[in-house]
Each structure stands twice: as C-alpha cells, then as structure tokens.
Chains A and B, each alone.
Chain A
Amino acid sequence: MSKVLVADAKKCVGCRICEQWCSMSHFRTGNPKKSRITVTRSHEDYMDYPVVCRQCVDTPCIKACPTKIDALSKDENTGAIIVDEEKCIACKMCIKACPYNAIKVHPSEKYVLICDLCGGDPQCVKYCPENALYFLDREEADKLVAATKEDE
C-alpha cells in the first residue's frame, strides 16, 4: 500500500527547512517559490501552517486537468501526483480544484508544482527537525488525523 504525507501544524515552528530541502533536492537551488511544501505563518493566531499535497484518494486535481492536456497522473508505486512538465500549460484548473491549496505554479516556467514524494523518500520528512511531517500508511495517517481532531 502506498504511503501518504501528513503535516502537523501544531508541531511546526516555521523554520521552513522542509521548503529548503524540497527546493534544493529538486532544483539544486534555494527558492521557497519552487518548493512543493509551503509554510505560512499566521500572525493572527500565532501558528505556522505547513501545506503540502495529501495524495487524495479521489484525486480532484487529476479530474480537473482538462482532458486535452492530460498532464497529471498518479504514480502507481508511490501514489504521488506526477506532473508532465511538457504537457502542463499552467492553466491552474488543478489549483482551483485542490481542497488544500497545495499546488502552485512554477515561478518562471509554465507548469505546476505538486509534491512527488521524492520518489518515495520525501526529503522534507527526513530533515524536519520537529518531526512535524509524517510519511505513513494511509490507515495509520487516518488514525492520526482522527486522534488530532479528537484532541481539538
């Protein structure tokens, strides 16, 4: 069974080390706008919110991608959404469809950035100093999310 990436905002401190590793490991450059994971700090509720693709079962992004473009697919091994950079035109239909605001347009190219789980070894999870990111079997992830909700 494929694993999913889960972010726990309660543990996040906003260091953005996840963004740095995402950008460096994919593009060999430091640029948060090229990171597929994004941390937003709210000065209103004093929290940091890491936002990243959750590998939805029903893949609204793939469904939203226009048929004639057909740039998105699901990796059968990892369950990650794979963007075909040649086909994608950055029409932003997937961005509108994503319920978690986890997709962004590459800052200088005409394609979108979606978490590819680093082929099964997500670097953000590996280097998060807070252990605020988990890479779990879907069943375990569901349990964790349910427990967190109960907490609240």
Chain B
Amino acid sequence: MTKNGIAGQLLRVNLTTKKITNEQLPLEMFIDYLGGRGLGAFYLDKEVDPKIHGLSPENKLIFFNGPFSGTMVPGNNKINVAFKSPLTNTYSYSLCGGHFGPELKFAGYDGLIIEGKSEEPVYLWIDNDKVEIKSADKLWGQKIADTDHLIKEELNDQKIHVACIGPAGENQVNIACVTSDVFREFGRGGGGAVMGSKNLKAIAVRGSKDVEVADPEGLMELVAGLYPNFKKNPKAQIRRVEGTNELVRGINNAGFMCTKNFSEGTSEANKEFEGSLFREKVVYNDVSCYACPIACGKNSAIVSTKYGAVKLEGPEFETLGLLGTNCGLTNWEDVLHVSAICDALGLDSITAGGCVSLAMECFEKGILTLKDTNGLELSFGNGKAEAELLEMIAYKKGIGADLAEGPAYAAEKWGAPELAMHSKGMTFAVYDPRGAKGMALTYATSPKGAHHMVAPVFGGEMAAGNRFEEKGKETLVRNTQLNFAAVDSLGFCATCQNGFLRADQLKAFKLVTGYELTEEKMLFNAERIFNMERMYNVKNGFARKDDTLPKRFTEEPMAFGESKGQVVDLETLLDNYYAAMGWNNDGVPTEEKLQALGL
C-alpha cells in the first residue's frame, strides 16, 4: 500500500533471465530526486553505461511516477521513461499523460525498470503483486489500437491500462514511440525502438491498492480550492476550447511556425489550422487525463474524406505543425489522416513530420528523384504521398529505411546533411528558433536533442517583447530548464501549471508526503537533475561541439513575415548560458559546480 504518496517499491523485470523482483524505494529518494524524471536520471546514470548502443540489451527502460500520481492532486498524471536513445545517442526521457502512470501506482509501484532482452515476443502483465511475462505471439505485428483491444480481450477486463508499441517499435525504427491507452505517447527519442529491441510488445497494468497521503483532510481542502483557479485562468480556458492548437494563431502570425521544412516561418494556408477553426471544423468532444480539470485533449473526426472516415484523439499542436504545416499540408483531411497513421503505427509524430519534410525538400530540390522514392511524388502539400512515406518509415521500406535510422542519417546518406532540421539527431518542434532566440538555446542545449519542452520559453519571450534578442536569454532558459526538471519529476503537466503555481505545488508536496520541501531545495534538486543529465552525455563525449543548430537557423535570414531577417547568434547564446550554468566554455559542468551539487 502506498503511504505518504509513495508506494515505496519499484518493480524490476529482467527479460533475459525472466527474473522479477521488487526493490525498496524510500521517501528520501523522492525528496532528493523529486520523482519521475529525476529518478530516471538517477537510475540511468547508475545502471546504464552512456556508451552503449540504444538498441543493445544493456539498455533499460526506466519508468517512474512522481509522488502525486494516483492522488487527487489536479493535473498530475505524468509518468516518465528514461533510456539511452538510439536516435540521438544521448540520455533521453519522455513523459506520458493519461491514466497509465496512476494505474501503475494503484498496482503498488512507483516505478518499473525493464532490462535485458527476451528471445521471443512477450508482454508484461502487472496485476497488483502478480506479475507475469506472457507470450505476445498473437500481438506481434498488430497496430496500436488493435494491440490495446486484443490485450483487454485476452485479460478479460476493459479497465486495464496498456502501454505498447506498434509496428514501428517492433521494427526498431529510431523514431518509434511507446503509446499508452491508444492515444497518449511517450513520444520522443525512440523509446518504442528500445522496447522493440527487447521484444517487449506491451505492458498491461491493473491496480486496486490504496494511495494514502499524509494529510487527506488538508489535501481535499487544498484541491477544492485549486479547481476555481483553472476555471479563472485564461490560458487554461483557451486550452480547454481549442486544445494546444490555440497556439497556431500567435506563432504563425509572429512568423516562426515551421512551414515547409522550416524554409518559411508563416503562411496564409496555416491559418486554416487556427484553434478556433480546429474546434469548429473537426473537434467533437473533449478528453481529460487523470485528475485534470482542464481537459485540453480533443477527439477529432471527419466523417467523409478522400481516405474514408477519420477519427482520432488529437492532433495536438506539435503533431499538427510537424506533420502538417512543415510538410506543406493545407487541409484538415490530410492532417487528420497522417496523424492517425502515426498513432496506428506507433511513430513519434513530431520527428516523423521532421523526417517527411526533409524528404520533401530533398525531392523538390532534385536530391531525391522519383526513382529514389519508388514513384512517390514527395512534393510539399502532398498528403497522400506523406501517408505512404510514413508507412515506409515504419516498415523500413525504400527511403523509409533511411529515415527510420533518423533524419541526420538519411540526410547524410542522400548528400544533403544541411537539410535535416535537427539537433543531436532529433528534429525540432514547431517554433523556428529564428523567431524566439531563447528557443534556440533550449533546443541546442537540451540533453535529448531538439525538444521544446525542456524549456518552452517562447511564450515568455513573446510576452516580454524581446523574442529576437539573444541578451538575457541564458537566465530565462536556465530558470525554465530548472522549473521543468522539477515539474516533470513531480509529474505535473505543463498545461496544468496554468492554475497550479509553485507555492501550491509545495503545499501539495507537504500534504501528500508529510515532508516540507522548500522552494530552495526544490530548485537545488532540479539543478542537480539537469546537471546529471548533462554529465551523462559528457561521459559519452558530448560537449559544446554537439550543442548545435542547422545552418538554416544560424546563417539563412528568415525570408519574410514578422520574423523577417532574423538569424540565431548561437555562439553568443552558448557563451552566456554556460557561464550562467557554472559550466566551462566547452559546455562541461565544472568540478566546483558538480561538488556544490553533491555530484
């Protein structure tokens, strides 16, 4: 049983030896590492050599909840998975909302470590204390929704929660995700490929244990008082109506919305995807993760399209941007269709979009010909061709096999490395860093490659009216990185921070765990987590030379729009940032810094 918010144990499953063990996990670990992301960094550093290949049996999938998972703390349901990424060759982590994390807590576990490699396809069935490794013969080859359905049939319970991989993960495609409850992903970094390399198709969980907190009366009082904050918060409310697609209007108008492989920062055509039109044209109801009073999730459908009926949860903003505008798509039919394909095959829709847009630019420039593409007309805006290429990536066919290794590999092989819009092998999110210089720093210094959520500072930059300035961004990015290291570890959703401020997060920590965590200690721990992540990569030879951006962002001025003329001065950003972090000029944490953090 979980006391003070903590189950106090992690489940370790070795797929090579089939050995299943429980290990004690004291509350102190949650004080020092806060939860999911921090504990992931701790265990990865302790147990997985940074130099191994991401798809080797020595790699591990390290799932951890935060201390609030399964409690009534609103907007808290994110579970983290840490692993060595086969895509970026770096430390990687990915967070997933929904209901899977809380269910693992109800089964009595704060975390789950998967290690080794099974000889045959298997899935894991966690039913409270009863844990079994079961045959996945009938599941192998199945798409995401079918896998979820078949497991629930086999186990005869519609209420269990399943995290699984699709064909992309099985085929060890480096941009494969792990999907929970059909539509919620541990998206980036290729966790799905790692799971596939272990011959692990799925993890099914059912729990019926208590999650007790230190002060239930106090927690009920705090939580009841928090709900009105979400209703009052304008950001939370617009997210409710338009989902994350509320961002389209502002980013497109400001001229830094990825368009045609980041060759443009805005387009008239992108206006079709503004949040209000999203709501009006394709959304038919709202969906929430566990304990979330906002419900930014949207189910979308178009009854009749050239592809037939399309229905899915999403697409959220990043998927829409990378699969949509960045590939030149101009209508909802195509966007919904390609999103649904990524969902079905288990592809990270952000990186998949960055891969397709790369192939499209290569095709338009004549670097890839019809012969290379097996007759596929990969022009920007061709949704049908995009859909076919996504299938080719998931099944490693034709040029899809190149992209399955990652965009950097493919672009290098095709002789156009400058056209892969990536940092450390991972493609960018929607925000073209030329239009928000803080984002340039976020992307370049992220421990997992060009991911936006390590420090999504663009909103603050726009509000402050200084988005084109390099000056001062080191402080903004540093503070945001530390904030996110903390909230990611605690299990909070970024959207839910709108309405759930730090002072209340700390109150919740006390009421749930009984421990009084100060803001100072929380940020100290966050800084230690972030430095551990950095050091994991440093041990593998990463340094300033790897904190890069494509030449497009540092040398090609934005051609038109509200970010016209902008390029990123990355070297100035890095100089100031490393100094602010207490790292040397090569981007390596100094001895003094590491000692001060107790590392």
Contacts and interface: CB of A to CB of B under 8 A. Distances in A.
Interface stretch (B32-40, B286-294, B470-478): B286-294
A29 B313 CA distance: 31
Q: For this complex, into which size category does the number of interface residues on chain B fall?
A: 35 or more
User: Which of A21, A27, A46, A107 has the most chain B CB within a 10 Å cutoff?
Assistant: A46
Interface in A45-59: 46-48
A99 interface: no
Interface in A35-79: 38, 40-44, 46-48
A21 B220 CA distance: 8
B216 A24 contact: yes
Contacts of A41: 99, 181
Given A13-B295, A40-B158, A30 B289 contact: no
B287 A30 contact: no
Interface string B210-251: 111100110110001001001100000000000000000000
Nearest to A108: B208
Given A30-B70, A46-B285, A127-B227, A15 B291 contact: yes
B450 interface: no
Nearest to B206: A33
A21 B219 CA distance: 11
B73 to A, nearest CB: 9
Contact of A30 (B148, B210, B217, B299): B210
Contact of A24 (B149, B208, B220): B220
A21 B292 CA distance: 13
A127 to B, nearest CB: 7
Interface string A6-27: 0000100111110011001101
B106 interface: yes
Given A16-B291, A24-B72, A31 B158 contact: no
A21 B72 contact: yes
Nearest to A44: B149
Given A30-B210, A31-B211, A127-B227, A46 B293 contact: no
A46 B106 CA distance: 24
Given A15-B290, A46-B313, A30 B72 contact: yes
Contacts of A149: none
Interface string B525-566: 000000000000000000000000000000000000000000
Q: For this complex, into which size category does the number of interface residues on chain A fall?
A: 20 to 34
B72 A17 contact: yes
A41 B216 CA distance: 27
Contacts of B211: 29-31
Contact of B224 (A28, A29, A33, A127): A127
A75 to B, nearest CB: 24
A32 interface: yes
A37 to B, nearest CB: 14
Contacts of A107: 208-209
Contacts of A127: 224, 227
B311 interface: yes
Interface string A118-130: 0000000001011
B181 A43 contact: yes
A3 interface: no
Contact of A31 (B208, B286, B293): B208
Nearest to B1: A29
A4 B216 CA distance: 28
A20 B70 CA distance: 9
A111 to B, nearest CB: 15
* Closest 9 A/B residue pairs (Cβ): A15-B288, A30-B211, A107-B208, A20-B72, A33-B208, A129-B293, A13-B295, A29-B210, A13-B288
Given A15-B293, A43-B183, A127-B227, 7 more contacts: A17-B72, A20-B291, A24-B72, A31-B208, A46-B313, A129-B230, A130-B295
22 contacts: A13-B286, A13-B288, A15-B290, A15-B295, A20-B72, A24-B216, A24-B220, A25-B220, A28-B217, A30-B71, A30-B210, A30-B212, A30-B213, A31-B209, A33-B208, A34-B210, A46-B311, A47-B285, A127-B224, A127-B227, A129-B231, A129-B293
